[in-house]
Amino acid sequence: MRHKLFLLALLSVLLVSCGTDGKHFKFEGRFLHLNQGEFYLYSEDGAVSGIDTIKVEGGRFAYEMACDHPATLVLVFPNFSRQPIFAEPGKTVSIKGDASHLKEMEVTGTDDNELMTAFRKQVAEASPPEAMKLAAKFAEDHPSSRVSAYLVKSYLVAAPKPDYQEALRLTRILLEKQERNGDLARMEQALKAITQCGVGATLPVFTARDMKGNTVSSASLSKGLAVITLYASWNYDSMEQLRRLKVLRRQKGGRFQVATFSIDASKTECDNSLRYDSITWPVVCDGKMFEGDVVKKLGLYSLPNNLLLKNGRVIARGLSINDLVQRIEENL
């Protein structure tokens, strides 16, 4: 009996030493041409709270997190490029790459990460329209993969020239195979909202309270030029969007309005970050993240995001930071 118990204990130790347990996910890797440094990790689906820093020592790095369901993580590198990692409970994946050619990064260890690696190589030299077609074909060919949801969002929705109708069609195909994917369900709701709040549409009616208790409404943004932005304290691009708007608004003498909706789960963290950046315009943070009523109504489901309004009508949405600044200057 003692002999059997000893063998069981030994087996348990060996299993743990060979990889992570069933309630964690881990990745580890090595980058050439990056001996020391750091990069960042966040998750739009709530798997990670805020943003984590990953240290690189001797070109190597590792990260482990609690994980009880599949999730999509996003790595943000020093050049601000982003690459997804698909987490699964009990899995460990390996990352290899050259810091000077991050688009060629290889991630192995799970089917989804290997599919993403293959797709990344496939579109390495593709034009934006070609990449969009390849992403759509991938989604149709792999409706059960979380990679498909990421590609639809990245290549058909968050594209310079998005195709919302095709994205909605593909999202519904994916949902038939991924009924429990909350990110997909949110994207379907957002795409429905976009069709009602697209370019040329009148801003939907809404009322909310900002963090100072003041009313923010569609009516208060219906005159002149106005910008609505989506923000999170843990998302660099959305923070940079606010900083650029703050500078431009000061340069233009406050000739356009700004209202920001935060998807921070913590109002305290949101308030602290905005105080640090001296943001003074209305900011709404209800703690519901992407499930906030107004956020869903406006179809603001990804970070960063924005709506550009003129006299209460949407004249642009989902612009890059540079394009947003340019459009504001053109319309003043």
φ, ψ for residue 241, nearest 5 deg: -60, -45
Q: How confident is the model at residue 8 (pLDDT cuts 50, 70, 90)?
A: very low
Residues 6+ apart with CB under 8 A from 271: 211, 285
Rg of the chain over all Cα atoms, to the nearest angstrom = 22
Q: Are 180 and 214 in contact (CB under 8 A)?
A: no
Here the tokens at position 297 are 């109504």
Residues 6+ apart with CB under 8 A from 171: 149, 152, 184, 187, 188, 191
- The percent of residues above 70 in pLDDT, for the chain, comes to 94
pLDDT tens per residue across span 189-199: 888 888 778 88
Instruction: Report which of 322, 182, 332 is spatially closest to residue 257, judged by C-alpha positions.
Output: 332
Distances from the Cα of 215 to the Cα of 110, 221, 259, 273, 297, angstroms: 48, 11, 11, 21, 17
Q: What is the pLDDT of residue 3?
A: 52
Q: What is the DSSP string of 294-330?
A: HHHHTT--SSSEEEEEETTEEEEES--HHHHHHHHHH
Q: What is the pLDDT of residue 46?
A: 73
- The percent of residues above 90 in pLDDT, for the chain, comes to 58
Here the tokens at position 206 are 């809404």
Q: What is the reported pTM?
A: 0.70
DSSP 8-state symbol, 178: -
Q: What is the pLDDT of residue 291?
A: 75
Residue 327 pLDDT greater than 80, yes or no: yes
pLDDT tens per residue across span 145-179: 999 999 999 899 877 778 888 999 999 999 999 99
DSSP 8-state symbol, 256: S
Q: What is the pLDDT of residue 242?
A: 95
Q: Are 248 and 321 in contact (CB under 8 A)?
A: no
Q: What is the pLDDT of residue 297?
A: 87
Distances from the Cα of 262 to the Cα of 150, 197, 258, 290, angstroms: 22, 19, 13, 9
What is the average pLDDT across 214-233? 94
Residue 221 pLDDT greater than 50, yes or no: yes
Q: What is the DSSP string of 121-155?
A: HHTTT--HHHHHHHHHHHHHH-TT-HHHHHHIIII
Question: Residue 15, Cβ neighbours under 10 Å: how many?
Answer: 10
State how far the Cα of 195 lies from the Cα of 135, in Å rounded to an integer.
21
Q: Are 202 and 262 in contact (CB under 8 A)?
A: no
Q: What is the pLDDT of residue 81?
A: 79
- Residue with the bigger pLDDT between 322 and 275: it is 322
* Averaged pLDDT of the chain: 88
What is the average pLDDT across 104-117? 95
What is the average pLDDT across 83-99? 94
What is the average pLDDT across 106-134? 95
Distances from the Cα of 309 to the Cα of 90, 167, 189, 323, 324, angstroms: 47, 24, 22, 14, 11
pLDDT tens per residue across span 35-65: 999 988 988 777 887 778 999 999 999 999 9
Residue 15 pLDDT greater than 60, yes or no: no
- Residue with the bigger pLDDT between 177 and 5: it is 177
Counting every residue written for the chain, the total comes to 332
Domains defined for the chain, CATH in brackets: 17-114 (2.60.40.1120), 128-196 (no CATH), 207-331 (3.40.30.10)
Query: Which amino acid appears at position 207 of this protein?
Result: T
